[in-house]
Amino acid sequence: PVFEKLFSIAEYSNLTKEEKTMYDNSLKHKWDNKNVLDYAVKEAKLEEAKEIAREMKKDGLPMAQIVKFTKLSVEEIEKL
């Protein structure tokens, strides 16, 4: 892994200014897309937990049990 990293650095150093800019922009787009996907997955999990909490609340389960299984805060659950 160390040699692979050194090789990558050497390759990057040999790029022209235009190529470096294109490479940097490509990496930025890749990281932006990963962050968007990570955020969407996190939000989907949160919505799923809220839906489960709504059902548990509707069934009259104790608040402590809802918190334990959904990992939501008491405040979040009370707002549902």
Q: Which residue has the higher pLDDT, 71 or 1?
A: 71
What's the mean pLDDT in 4-19? Answer: 91
Q: What is the pLDDT of residues 20-62, one digit of tens each?
A: 999 999 999 999 999 999 999 999 999 999 999 999 999 999 9
Residue 3 has pLDDT above 90, yes or no: no
Confidence of residue 1 (pLDDT cuts 50, 70, 90): confident
Taking each helix axis from N to C end, the angle separating 17-58 and 63-70, rounded to the nearest 10 degrees, works out to: 150
Alpha-carbon distance 13 to 27, whole Å?
16
Number of other CB atoms surrounding residue 56 within 10 Å? 19
- Inter-residue contact 80 to 57 (CB < 8 Å): yes
The pTM of the full predicted model, rounded to 2 decimals, is 0.67
Q: Where in the chain are the domains?
A: 2-79
